[in-house]
Amino acid sequence: MASLDFSRSVEQDITTKADRKINADLDYTRDDDGSVDFSGIVIKMEIYDRDGGTLVDTLTSGTEITIATARLTIVKTFTALKIRSYYFEIFDDDDKQGIQHGKLIVI
């Protein structure tokens, strides 16, 4: 479980197998015991070839990301990603507030 502080994004990597469906439940809490509620906001996950690099894929709530209060569920088959490491950011697209970032490792 990731600890979420709204002043900064949590760094935590995600690993998946090439051409396999990722079905990840990401649960978030705040380190100050405040509540986390993603309801009613647009969440995006952007995947880059490297940190600061070229955007290679975007996932959006309502399609590949399902929101359940303090949980984000990502369901996607990454058929276009090669076996290697990428960089991702998950964020509140309404406020451009970071939630999680790190490496997306395709093995």
**Domain regions of the chain by residue span:** 2-106
Q: Compute the Cα dihedral for 75, 6, 88, 48 and give only its sign.
A: positive
User: Is 99:90 a contact under the CB 8 Å cutoff?
Assistant: yes
Q: What is the DSSP string of 29-93?
A: E-TTS-----TTS-EEEEEESSTTS-EEEEEEBTTTEEEETTEEEEEEE-TT--SEEEEEEEEET
**CA-closest candidate to residue 26, choices 87, 76, 89, 73:** 73
Q: 2-106: which CATH number, 2.40.50, 2.60.40, 1.10.10, 2.30.30?
A: 2.60.40
Distance CA 102, CA 23 (A): 17
This prediction's pTM: 0.87
pLDDT at 8: 67
Are 72 and 26 in contact by the 8 Å Cβ rule? The answer is: yes
pLDDT tens digit string along 2-50?
544 455 688 999 999 988 888 889 999 887 778 888 999 999 999 999 9
pLDDT in tens, 63-94: 999 999 899 999 999 888 999 999 999 999 99
